[in-house]
Chain A
């Protein structure tokens, strides 16, 4: 399969709690990007982390990257009901010049 794996497939938490999603991939990459998709609508770019970076923050988002384990995690702190969405990781490799998406995590934040 061309896709990376994400876990968990689905996550349900209470508002105010933290949500952690994990992404594993198979090949060497140049960068990894996280996207949000609300209920079958377009994808929103959240954050990009390059292969030479280990951690990045953007507002309530924290992304880590471990290239030795070929894995990344997305942490959403102090979650809100509006964070309810599907989250996807996508890896970019300049050698093949294409993006490969993970299987996605469906997050539900309960008010």
Chain B
């Protein structure tokens, strides 16, 4: 299995500011995914990030609000821009293992916007 770390683990931010979340994997992976989990809800896929290409965003999510970088096969960042209280959620990154066709998750970043 892959070991995934995220930074920061939690943050409290002012509305109108931006936060960049980092995701580091201990092995090279092709596909990385970013999810949002609003309080008491399930996970919603924000975007899929491939190394060397633009991220693919799901309906309802746009690059201006959630820019993603994927500079190499072990690292990705998600920025939550111009935050509002509605952005308060847990943000999780995950990777897909082609070898076993399983998905592994980071511990998540708990964001509170005041």
Contact = CB atoms under 8 A, between A and B. Distances in A.
Q: Do A and B come from one complex?
A: yes
Interface of A: 2-3, 30-31, 33, 35, 40-43, 45, 48, 50, 88, 90, 92, 97-104
Q: Would you list the 8 A-B pairs with minimal beta carbon distance, nearest first?
A: A42-B107, A101-B43, A43-B105, A104-B42, A101-B42, A103-B42, A99-B103, A42-B108
Q: Is the interface of A mostly helix, strand, loop or mixed?
A: strand
Given A3-B42, A101-B42, A41 B103 contact: no
Interface of B: 1, 31, 33, 35, 41-45, 48, 58-59, 90, 92, 94, 96, 100-108, 110
Contacts of A90: 43, 103
Given A40-B110, A43-B92, A104-B42, A48 B58 contact: no
A88 B42 contact: yes
A100 B104 contact: no
A88 B48 contact: no
A30 B94 CA distance: 18
B103 A92 contact: yes
Q: Which of B35, B92, B105, B106 has the most CB of A within 10 A?
A: B105
B50 to A, nearest CB: 9
B90 A2 contact: no
B42 A98 contact: no
